[in-house]
Structure 1
């Protein structure tokens, strides 16, 4: 399945999603915004989906905004219009990965500047090459991060560190990104490791994985009482369900589980 600017290949429940504008280091133009939003929408309704790996083709994950194509307002969309629930189009291409029901793993290499950093921040898990160059770059252009960055970074990065990086727009490496919380781990082969992790996740009960993601998302926004109640509600639905019974039986019988969606 191929979208303009974005490709999607699904194998055994794992969607390999790639930004496919390598000649421009996958920079974000109106067509890329539309393709990413459409890809998220398609994945959201894909039966049998267990995990997503998000990466960029060529020399970079994503170099951020294509300033030439976005000059003069780019798409002309009203930033105040909430076209995707709580988000506008520009926010959706980062925030939308968080709202997918299955885990998303970003594989990051080359550069991840501005909007590119915000897009990868929407993933559940972020694997980067040590030499990757990252930046909250918007201040360089006299603007602020407006692709859901602050909503995503609040659970990842210390407040004062986030302020410094936003105010200065300075670059930092994959190694520093790991220390600061922007990425989950480093790898010399981010895409290979991300795909391997996605396949491991795809082998777990899809009901339990989706429930765990709902709880993880809720934990960032709710108080203790809400989280405790949600834990109980999710567990009550899982206990003695077909996939939960299959998980137990497969472990007892020492065989691979066979789950249903």
Structure 2
């Protein structure tokens, strides 16, 4: 999921554990229900968090909170997971799926080449030790490439004309 070459979205309503949790953490944008239960209860099984969960939890929560959740097996609510930075936004359970679907639809008609370039830069920041100048150079290259696209021209024309852009992924 983390390497998928397009923006990814997910919604979670119930228990988010095990491989399901690993998939959620690897997704770009995750909306969770306020009543969701999220965590790593593997200590009770003598097992451990898998599916890349150690790296992804640590990236978002830091080592102390990650190990607290692993050692205790405590489950968080959706509200707590969002407050800690594990996921994007929290919604009432009855609205979370619609919210994620709408966000995905909005992205699908947006400047998809720009979104993919941003995803690649963020992924590189996560995966490689970089200084401030490396991402800035990657941003400059991507911006130059995007400036030749129809979506880029459409976005700037719409801005100047004070209207909503219509993107086509080109």
Task: Give the alignment's TM-score, normalised by structure 1.
Answer: 0.59
Q: Do the aligned residues in 1 keep the contact of 2:110 with 2:169 (CA within 8 Å)? A: no
Q: Gaps spanning 5+ residues in structure 2: where? A: none
1:209 matched residue in structure 2:
115
CA distance in 2, matches of 1:256, 1:241: 14
Per-residue displacement from partner, 1:192-228 (whole Å, max 9, x unpaired)?
0001111221221111111111111112133124322
CA distance in 1, matches of 2:66, 2:97: 27
1:237 matched residue in structure 2:
145
Per-residue displacement from partner, 1:137-173 (whole Å, max 9, x unpaired)?
2222212222111222232112101001111212221
Q: Gaps spanning 5+ residues in structure 1: where? A: 1-96
CA distance in 1, matches of 2:167, 2:75: 46
1:37 matched residue in structure 2:
none
Q: Do the aligned residues in 2 keep the contact of 1:129 with 1:186 (CA within 8 Å)? A: yes
Per-residue displacement from partner, 1:90-148 (whole Å, max 9, x unpaired)?
xxxxxxx1111221111010111122211110111111111111121222221222211
Equivalent pairs counted in the alignment come to 165
1:163 matched residue in structure 2:
67
Q: Does 1:123 align with 2:27?
A: yes
2:50 matched residue in structure 1:
146
Q: Do the aligned residues in 2 keep the contact of 1:98 with 1:123 (CA within 8 Å)? A: yes
Bigger relative contact order, structure 1 or 2 (CA pairs below 8 A, ≥6 apart): 2
Moved over 4 A (4+): none
CA distance in 1, matches of 2:46, 2:140: 46
CA distance in 2, matches of 1:164, 1:243: 45
Superposition pairs for residues 14-93 of structure 1, below 5 Å? none
Shift of 1:236: 1.6
RMSD, aligned CA: 1.7
